[in-house]
Amino acid sequence: MKQFYIFSLVFSLLLVAVILWPGLLINPGSLSEGHKKLDGGCLSCHTPLFGTPSAKCIACHTSDEIGLSGAAGGILAEPDSVTALLHRELAALECIACHTEHALPGKGPLLASMDHGFLASELQKNCTACHEPDIPDDLLHKEAGSGCGECHDTKRWESVEFDHDKWLPTGLGSAGNCVGCHKPDRPDDMLHKEAKNACSDCHSATAWEPAEFDHEQWFRFDRSHPAECSTCHDNPRDYRQYACYGCHEHSRHGVAAEHREEGIKEFSNCVECHRSSDEDEAERLWREKRKGER
């Protein structure tokens, strides 16, 4: 019985505190900029024990005016037809299903959270009714038209499932003419300039990154030579350039002295002889090079 009295007392005190000082006890955060004038007037939007009924929202914001007129009834200087269309479609939905007007402490305003499942099925298929301004101005999207759902989903717009085999025959180009679509994506370095259209030598159509680059045709990696590109290639404008000085002899002069001791005068292109850390291989390649020069 004593516990019941204590519980009743605590509950009563909390209830009185909520009624007298709601802003201190149950306010989840500051209001958004558009609702600042309602600060402290919780009952303008909330009904005790019943949350935030849409009836209170549409007392100021009717679905026919959202995006076209302000809460005071005046026509907006820049009406938003997309917002107007969206809210007409959602007229029967509770406003709090998408909106919250409070910001959590230390965070910015919580904006609308859109669930496309609330839309009528016809509008769900017609992405361009709302997203036409977002469509990139490139050949691929011009060819695709309004079939956004074939690559995109409504949960995450940038998580794209793209089937190259489906789109290449439609006039976008042929397999191998990657630059028909990807020219703006090509890095501005000598390696890619020399590669011309042969993107498929390194890249695949299923995962543009990482690229499969056959480095062994120039140099084979091993325990002594880890595959850290920047160790040797320190000029991002031309990855064909490289230097071994970072690890070997530490300077051009040091490399020159080491090779001249062996009677080697031409050593500007290390990988002509050094295809790995195998010194026997390097000596064999050097002898073959000298033989070919005679």
Cβ neighbors of 134 (< 8 A, separation 6 or more) are: 157
**Phi–psi pair at 162, nearest 5 degrees:** -115, 125
CA 217 to chain centroid: 34
CA 2 to chain centroid: 59
**pLDDT at residue 293 in the model:** 65
- For 139-198, write each residue's pLDDT tens digit: 778 777 777 877 887 777 776 777 777 766 554 555 556 777 777 777 777 677 766 667
pLDDT band at 96 (very low <50, low <70, confident <90, very high): confident
- The residue with tokens 């306010």 is 27
**Phi–psi pair at 75, nearest 5 degrees:** -65, 135
- For 32-89, write each residue's pLDDT tens digit: 777 888 887 888 888 888 888 888 888 888 878 888 887 767 788 888 888 888 887 7
Residue 291, pLDDT > 80, answer no
pLDDT band at 108 (very low <50, low <70, confident <90, very high): low
Measured distance CA(211)–CA(209) in Å, rounded: 5
**pLDDT at residue 176 in the model:** 57
**pLDDT at residue 99 in the model:** 81
Domain boundaries, the chain: 25-32+39-67+85-120, 126-162, 215-293
User: If we measure between CA atoms, which residue out of 228, 219, 231 comes closest to residue 278?
Assistant: 219
**pLDDT at residue 169 in the model:** 54
- For 215-264, write each residue's pLDDT tens digit: 877 788 887 787 777 778 877 777 778 888 778 877 778 888 888 887 78
Q: Are 75 and 93 in contact, with CB atoms under 8 Å apart? A: no
Start-end of H helices in 21-138: 22-25, 54-58, 81-89, 121-125, 128-131
Residue 22, pLDDT > 70, answer no
pTM passes above 0.95:
no
User: If we measure between CA atoms, which residue out of 180, 163, 179 comes closest to residue 171?
Assistant: 180
The whole-number average pLDDT for the span 121-144 is 80
